[in-house]
Each structure stands twice: as C-alpha cells, then as structure tokens.
Amino acid sequence: MELVTTYLCKTSDIGVHSNMFGGQLVALIDQSSAAYASQVCDTARMVTLSFSELLFKKPIKVGNIVKVFASVSEFGNTSVTLYIELRKHNVYTGVQELAMSTTIKFVKIDEEGNPIPISEKCKNRYYDRLEKFGKGLLSMEERKIENDEKTKAIDKGQ
C-alpha cells in the first residue's frame, strides 16, 4: 500500500453528528485515488466506473489527520481497480486506525469519453516497480536509480 494523500479534517468537513461527513470522505478518496490511477496509467483521462462497498469503521473528528493509501488490485484491458484504505493518524503516538476501506475501478478514456486500452508498458512497469521498490510510484531518487539501471543495461547491450 502506498500513501497517496494526507488530509487534515477541518470544521467545514464535519456533518451533523460531529464526525467528518461521509460525502467528504468519499470525495477525498475518489479524488486522491483518481490521481494515483492517473499516475500509474500515464494519463489524466481516468474516470471512476465504480466503488465497492464503503465500510466506515472509525469516526474522523476535527483536527484528525487522515491518510489515504492505495494499491492496484487488478488491471483490466481499459481499467484499473484499486484497493483503498483511509486511516486516522494519531500525531502523538504515530498509531493509525483503519477508518474506511473500499475498492474503486477507474477506466482510461479518450477525448470523446470512450474506453481505451491501458498499455502493457504501464502495467509491466507497475509490477516491476512493485517487485523492486515495494511500490508502483517512485520518489525522484528511486526514479534516478531506475533510469541509471536502464542506461547501464542499454550500454551493456541488454
């Protein structure tokens, strides 16, 4: 699982029961996981197709830090399915509690909104990075290592 977004719950996020409003949580998850899917699939043209069951396990209160984690569950021809966890983070202890989880399926689209294939290059790169670095999206330092290794392989004629 990769950290996708960190969010501080504000007073404006609170619903009538003094918890973060469920619609705010869904919007946070949809937006952050769409950005993750877009990065994995090398396109800004990703649309939400479906959410699985949304399981609200812990309330989020004003001042709580919320962290969204994601991982690819499956690639389809034109889609990617992500497993998402939203965790409540305690800044004093570092303990994180699962507050919500779901799976979301995104579809890659063209300019007209029609589904188009996700390249095998994107899929393979995700799995290669997952195997080597334990995550699909890399930091700048990890990308440099990856690029240096590719350059060395090319220089050796591989």
Q: Residue 106 — φ and ψ, nearest 5°?
A: -115, 150
d(C-alpha 51, C-alpha 87), whole Å = 18
Q: Which residue carries 């966890």 as its tokens? A: 85
Same domain, 112 and 125: no
Which tops the pLDDT comparison, 158 or 65?
Answer: 65
**What is the structure's pLDDT at 143?**
82
Q: Give me the number of domains the chain comprises.
A: 2
Q: Per residue in 110-133, pLDDT tens?
A: 999 999 999 999 999 999 989 988
Same domain, 133 and 100: no
Q: What is the mean pLDDT of the chain?
A: 91
Same domain membership, residue 124 and residue 71: no
- Domain of 44, CATH number, reads 3.10.129.10
pLDDT-derived band at 152, boundaries 50, 70, 90: confident
The reply to whether 64 and 105 lie within a common domain is yes
Based on the domain organization, do 132 and 112 belong to the same domain? no
> What pLDDT digit, counting tens, does each position of 16-62 carry?
899 999 899 999 999 999 999 999 999 999 999 999 988 889 999 99
pLDDT value at residue 92? 87
Q: Given this model, what pLDDT does residue 19 score?
A: 92
Residue 158 binned pLDDT confidence (cut-offs 50, 70, 90): low
Residues 135 and 114 in one domain: no
- Given this model, what pLDDT does residue 12 score? 95
Dihedral Cα 96, 98, 102, 108, nearest 10 deg: 0
95 & 126 share domain: no
- Claim to verify: residue 34 and residue 112 sit in the same structural domain: yes
Distance CA 86, CA 5 (A): 9
Instruction: Residue 32: give the domain boundaries.
Output: 2-118
Provide the β-strand partners of residue 90.
none
Whether residues 123 and 100 fall in one domain = no
Shared-domain flag, residues 145 and 108: no
CB neighbours (10 Å) of residue 136? Answer: 19
Alpha carbon distance 142, 139 (integer Å): 5
Residue 150 neighbours by CB distance under 10 Å? 11
Residue 67 has pLDDT above 70, yes or no: yes
CB atoms within 10 A of CB 138: 16
Same domain, 96 and 157: no
